[in-house]
Amino acid sequence: MRKISADYIYPISSSPIKNGVVVIDENSKIVDLLSSTDGLEDVEIYDGLICPGFVNTHCHLELSHMKGIVSEGRGLVEFIKELMSQREADPDFIQQCIADAETEMITNGIVAIGDISNSSDTFAQKAKNNLYYHTFIELYGFMDEQAAESFDNGLKLIAENKLSNYSLVPHSPYSASRQLWKKVCKWNIENNGIISFHNEETEDENRLFLEGKGGLIDLMQWFGLDTSFWTPTGKTSLNSIKDLLPKELKTLLVHNTITSSDELLSLNLKLDSPYWCLCPNANWYIERRIPNIDDFITSNTKVTLGTDSLSSNWGLSILSEMKRIYKHYPKTPTATLLKWGTQNGAKLLGIDNAYGSLAKDKSPGINLISSLKAGEITDSSEVVKLG
């Protein structure tokens, strides 16, 4: 039994407790949550705050071998071109990088991950159950004619491997045809899955749908497609596929770098369980901009945090994503960031019975965040996994 105290305990599901105590057993299961150290012996006392383990809702573990390879700040289209042309590597090297990336996440206090897979490269590592994984098997296919084949490839990946938790998902509004979207949504309704997709990561995405122009047309041509099939909808990217999103499905929109507050509000009204994943470090790496954080706060939107992959980030740390937000939006309250990085992600993945908050009988992981200023996260804050 360990009694752990700090300046603040953030249960997330209830108000912060100043100088409170978390009592955990040898398996890091929470036995009790106390309001003071009075009368207790052998208490570990730390400077900083204690919060649950982090939930990283957007990662591409299979790209871990690409750290530092793709140039920064050139925009999404150039990023994808560089990524696709340099993705091949020695299989043993890929496996080693996947294992190392997982270790990095564990060290940084991450306990659960929503992870994108285009291949089975990460499945052996996931089977070790060092962390909780929900695998989003991601499908592409710009044209309706490609939908059946792409969908079947996804089903094959599921059938040939043993994954505990998974969904089939479309890559994005532009790279998955309406036919593919329909198939994927139907599958998730029938299989209690979660929809996740890359949303409005770059201005070019809206240009493509609004006018049929811009960098994504170039990208399609780079992929060897005859782009004459593309018909602009005259709407933004999100508004072009909004009608395809089933109300009852948990839905994770990832990046949202250029999403307007009107789009945010109207999708929040349309869906039962919309979640918006922000990956600010990846946005900064690729586009040198981040979403308008204030819009997400004032609309009381359910935000989660993601690291994206090591191909578009300097590390895999949810605290580092919080620090990026704090750097650009210094008034963002620490309590808000902590909720985004823990409980919201756990609810999205359907694991909030065990993760995402500090409460009796849960085993959410115990993180210590130190170097606070007036109780708030700063640029020099660090995280240590205590349990």
Minimum CB distance to Zn ion, residue 171 (Å): 9
- How many angstroms from the chain centroid is the CA of residue 380? 23
Residues 6+ apart with CB under 8 A from 148: 183
**Shortest separation between residue 190's beta carbon and Zn ion, angstroms:** 25
Q: In this structure, are residues 21 and 30 in contact, taking their beta carbons and an 8 Å threshold?
A: no
* Cα three-residue angle 296-343-5, rounded to 5 degrees: 120
CA–CA distance, 284 with 259 (Å, rounded to integer): 16
Q: Which is nearer to Zn ion, 259 or 357 (CB)?
A: 259
Q: Which residues contact 33 (CB under 8 A, 6 or more apart)?
A: 9, 11, 17, 20, 21, 22, 23, 358, 359, 360
Residue closer to Zn ion (CB basis): 283 or 292:
283
Residue with Cβ nearer Zn ion (121 or 308): 308
Binding mask 296-315 for Zn ion (x = CB under 5 A): ------------x-------
Least CB distance to Zn ion at residue 126 (A): 17
Q: Which of residues 331-370 bind Zn ion (CB under 5 A)?
A: none
User: What is the closest distance, in whole angstroms, from the C-beta atom of residue 258 to Zn ion in the complex?
Assistant: 15
Least Å distance between CB 325 and Zn ion?
A: 18
Residue with tokens 């959410």: 364
Q: How many residues bind Zn ion (CB under 5 A)?
A: 1
- In the complex with Zn ion, the residue whose CB is nearer, 313 or 342, is 313
Q: How far apart, in whole angstroms, are the C-alpha atoms of residue 360 and residue 290?
A: 37
Q: Which residues contact 339 (CB under 8 A, 6 or more apart)?
A: 12
Which residue, 49 or 238, is less far from Zn ion as judged by CB? 238
The answer to whether 310 and 70 are in contact (CB under 8 A) is no
CB closer to Zn ion out of 171 and 302:
171
Minimum distance, C-beta of residue 208 to Zn ion, in the bound complex (Å): 18
In whole angstroms, how close is the CB of 375 to Zn ion at the nearest point? Answer: 33
Q: Is residue 42 exposed (0-12), middle (13-18) or buried (19+ Cβ within 10 Å)?
A: exposed
C-beta nearest to Zn ion: residue: 308
Name residue 252's beta-bridge partners. Answer: 196, 275
Cβ proximity to Zn ion, 102 vs 308, nearer residue: 308
Residues binding Zn ion (CB under 5 A): 308
